[in-house]
Amino acid sequence: MHTMKKSEDLHGNVPDQFPIALLIIDMINDLEFPNGEQLLKPSVKAAKQIAALKQRSRDLTIPVIYVNDNFGRWRSDFKEVVEHCLKDGVRGQPLVELLYPASDDYFVLKPKHSAFFATTLDTLLEYLNVKHLILTGISADICVLFSAKDAYMREYSLSIPGDCLAADTTAHTKMALTYMERVLGADTTPSSRLDLEFLSRNVLSAVGPKLTSTND
């Protein structure tokens, strides 16, 4: 009986394989919704930290994956979402300016809260051989939280730096972080103290949630 051999490439291109991936969730966002104004200031603050973390990740060849809502526009693609947020005078324009995707970044469009629900993320992470996810984005208590729960159920270990998240209130961000650390075992070390080189070396063999803290 002939057995189909698993393909080693993804859509014809051999991906950069790495045990860690950085997910940027819903940061390409127009913020044109009722509580968007409250989200703007904390989101810009988080975007600055995410941008720095993204650059450090790219320097170590850690894959960067944008996971973004399609805003209910089923005929849109990611490029169209980026251009809309950048050129249509929307509230969220500063986020795109800080986090404009590079041509070799990955992207996944999602229809609901979780990065995993009805998306291609599972397949992408499998081909990248990812074991550990760094989650960033908005909103901490909704889309990031739902994504973290689904990642946990798929047995990914998690880093969720608290300075790379935003919600409509500080209290909501803190509650989500506390839950993800307590229940999901996430490391919430701030991005400035996230030792990506240590994590890269040890993620395949490390056990437990506190994988990434550096010594003070």
Phi/psi for 67 (5° steps) reads -115, 115
Chunked mean pLDDT (size 10), the chain, 216 residues: 46 65 96 93 98 96 92 67 91 97 93 94 95 97 98 97 97 98 97 93 57 44
Which residue ranges form the domains of the chain, and what is each CATH number?
24-202 (3.40.50.850)
Evaluate the CA torsion angle 176, 177, 181, 186 in order and state its sign: positive
Q: Name residue 85's amino acid.
A: C
- The CB-based long-range contact list for 1-10 (8 Å cut-off, 24+ gap) reads 9/127, 10/123, 10/124, 10/127
Tens digit of each residue's pLDDT (9 = 90 or more) over 199-213: 988 875 553 344 444
Q: What is the pLDDT of residues 148-194, one digit of tens each?
A: 999 999 999 999 999 999 999 999 999 999 999 999 999 999 999 99
Q: Rounded to whole angstroms, how far apart are CA atoms 38 and 170?
A: 10
In the three-class reduction of DSSP (H, G, I as helix; E, B as strand; rest coil), residue 67 is classed as strand
pLDDT of residue 200: 86
